[in-house]
Amino acid sequence: MHIVREVTEGLYWIGANDHRLTLFENIHPIPEGVSYNSYIALGEKTILFDTVDWDACRQMLENLKYVLDGRDLDYIVINHWEPDHAASLQEVLIEYPNAKIIGNLKGFQLAEQFGFHIDEEKKIIVNEGDVIDAGNHQLTFLFMPMVHWPEAMVTFDLSNGALFTADAFGSFKALDGKLFNDEVDYDRDWLDENRRYLTNIVGKYGPHIRKILKKAAPLLDQVKFICPLHGLVWRNNFSYLLEKYELWANYEPEQKGVMICYASMYGNTEQAAQALAAKLCDLGVPNVSVFDVSNTHVSYLIAEVFKKSHVVLASCTYNLGIFPVMKNFLEDMKALNVQNRTFAIIENGSWAIRSGDLISQFLDEQMKTITVLNDRVTIASHLKEGQNEEIEDLALEIKESMRG
Ligand SMILES: Cc1cc2nc3c(=O)[nH]c(=O)nc-3n(C[C@H](O)[C@H](O)[C@H](O)COP(=O)(O)O)c2cc1C
Ligand SMILES: [Fe+2]
Ligand SMILES: [Fe+2]
């Protein structure tokens, strides 16, 4: 049975939702699922834009057959060769052996590595800026290396204004019937998962995202649909989406606020985190959130760091080191190039308190354009009543630094 949505006249979404996969890339939890988007354009020629993950292949093929309604498939554009999009290509080719495949050279090289066998005469190798005349669809291509892989590209259909953006503008979360940005409450239901996808999957490549945004800028007034490979199709309000991407790509916080992360075995460091949260709220500091690093998947922590201006790291000492889950979080922030944030530190230990110095050293030496506040709270096992003042001082310093 087909499940198809029309994007615009002659263009259809023929993807599928996946609620069975628990970990995207076998690492990021996706409790709300994910969609693999594939699109087909009908005109004088028929053009498929990307395929889907192997798990979604059957649904996509049923959709494809329904929309083609007996017609042959002329072209397949592959914008991104990662298996969550290209894995079903071989299966499509079994059904439609006459289709020609449009991709760039790097893409075809990757295809070879993954074991896709594509006859030479079926390949149409494009360069950036080429225009392909596919009947009444004119296609042009922009390369966007490292968003998310080196071969990734964007295809623009000049005839209907559809921009096929591969993983750019993609999101976690299954569509479940919806397709367009204006069919959902984006701020309430999608923004968090969109941020978590972007920051964790391509957060590291902010400069590359900035480059493609700049490259695509001259096309923008012709764009009518932004069609990514995961999540919603955008058909209006582009400036809202682009503003978010500008912030994420430039590592600029979305809001003034404090994310307090604690790593605590027995609850003593946790208590300090809660005391600080209460004090900050007392002082009227906005957007205070608290996370237990041991119980929160790091992809959520990363997304929150991209959102907030201030981050407090509270960690007990563990075998003369930083508590392992906190260390892992630090490594992930470094790997994803987190910058332009203000940090504060709370440390705890019972005989050789080391976590604060080690966190401070990591922030200084391993991360870029980070400010670390002077007031550090040190706990010898358990916060003493008299340390209330230290917590208050730290809260005040955080509040003060927000003014800047
Ligand atoms: C396996 C293990 C290793 C530890 N290593 C250190 C250490 O190297 N230095 C130190 O001062 N405390 C060390 N501690 C003690 C804790 O850091 C300390 O008791 C702290 O107050 C615990 O805070 P919490 O209640 O937030 O878990 C260790 C504790 C455990 C269980
Ligand atoms: Fe990808
Ligand atoms: Fe993807």
Quote the ligand 2 centre to 44 CA distance (angstroms). 31
- CB atoms within 5 A of ion ligand 3 belong to 84, 167
- 3 CA → ligand 3 middle, Å: 20
What pLDDT sits at residue 67? 98
Taking the C-alpha atoms of residue 319 and residue 294, their distance in angstroms, rounded to an integer, is 17
Distance 354 CA to ligand 1 centre (A): 10
Does the pLDDT value for residue 342 go beyond 80? Answer: yes
Write out pLDDT tens, residues 74-104. 999 999 999 999 999 999 999 999 999 999 9
Written as six digits, the tokens of 304 are: 């929150």
Q: Atom 19, ligand 1: which residue's CA is nearest?
A: 350
State yes or no: pLDDT of 248 exceeds 80. Answer: yes
Looking at residue 238, its pLDDT comes to 95
| Pair 22, 12: CB distance under 8 Å | no
Of the listed ligands, the closest to the CA of 293 is 1
Structure tokens at 183: 């069919």
pLDDT digits (tens, 9 = 90+) for 192-202: 999 999 999 99
Q: Whose CA is nearest to atom 4 of ligand 1?
A: 318
Report CA-CA distances (Å) from 87 to 13, 57, 90, 105, 351.
18, 8, 7, 18, 54
Token output for 320: 């003369």
Strands 341-349 and 321-322 turn out to be unpaired
Tell which atom from ligand 1 comes closest to the C-alpha of 353. Answer: 11
What's the gap in Å between 148 CA and the centre of ligand 2? 5
Residue nearest to atom 21 of ligand 1 (CA): 381
Rounded to a whole number of angstroms, the distance between the first and last alpha carbons of the chain is: 58
Among all ligands shown, which has an atom nearest to the Cα of 266?
Answer: 1
Higher pLDDT, 137 or 213: 137
User: How many whole angstroms from 83 Cα to the centroid of ligand 2?
Assistant: 8
**Ligand lying closest to the C-alpha of residue 265:** 1
Interatomic CA distance for residues 45 and 96, integer angstroms: 14
Q: In the predicted model, what is the mean pLDDT of residues 315-339?
A: 97
Ligand nearest to the CA of 269: 1
Do 62 and 17 meet the contact criterion of CB atoms below 8 Å apart?
no
- With 80 as the cut, is the pLDDT of residue 150 above it? yes
**What own/partner pairs with CB < 8 Å and gap ≥ 24 does 1-8 have?**
1/62, 2/62, 2/63, 2/65, 2/66, 2/67, 3/59, 3/63, 4/63, 4/66, 4/67, 5/179, 7/39, 7/162, 7/179, 7/225, 7/227, 7/233, 8/160, 8/162, 8/224, 8/225
The pLDDT score that the predictor gives to residue 213 is: 87
The ligand 1 atom at the shortest distance from the C-alpha of residue 320 is 8
CA–CA separation, 388 vs 390, rounded Å? Answer: 5
For ligand 1, atom 30, name the residue with the nearest CA. Answer: 318
pTM, 2 dp: 0.95
d(CA 29, CA 172): 10
Which among 260, 261, 265 is the best mutation to test ligand 1's pocket, defined by most ligand atoms within 8 Å of the CB?
Answer: 265
Cβ atoms of 243 and 298 within 8 Å: the answer is no
- Strand 255-263 to strand 308-318: parallel, antiparallel, or no bridges (unpaired)? parallel
Dist CA 148 CA 134 (whole Å): 27
pLDDT > 70: percent of the chain? 100
How far is the centre of ligand 3, averaged over its atoms, from the C-alpha of 377 (Å)?
42
Q: Which ligand is nearest to the CA of 264?
A: 1
**How high is the pLDDT of residue 117?**
86
* C-alpha of residue 82 to centroid of ligand 2, in Å: 5
User: Has residue 404 got a pLDDT over 80?
Assistant: no
CB-based contact 44:199 (threshold 8 Å):
no
Ligand 1 pocket: which of 261, 317, 354 to mutate (most atoms within 8 A of CB): 317
Q: Within 6 Å (CB) of ligand 1, which residues are found?
A: 264-270, 316-320, 348-353, 381
Query: Can you tell me the distance from the alpha carbon of 114 to that of 85, in angstroms, rounded to the nearest whole number?
Result: 13
User: Does residue 286 carry a pLDDT above 90?
Assistant: yes
Query: Mean pLDDT in the chain?
Result: 97
Cis ω for the linkage preceding 148 (within 30 of 0): yes
Digit-coded pLDDT (tens) for 8-28? 999 999 999 999 999 999 999
Distance 326 CA to ligand 3 centre (A): 28
Question: What is the band of 296 on the pLDDT scale with cuts at 50, 70, 90?
Answer: very high
Which of the residue ranges 113-117, 123-127, 185-189, 302-306 would you say has the lowest mean pLDDT? Answer: 113-117
Q: How many CB atoms lie within 10 A of CB 358?
A: 19
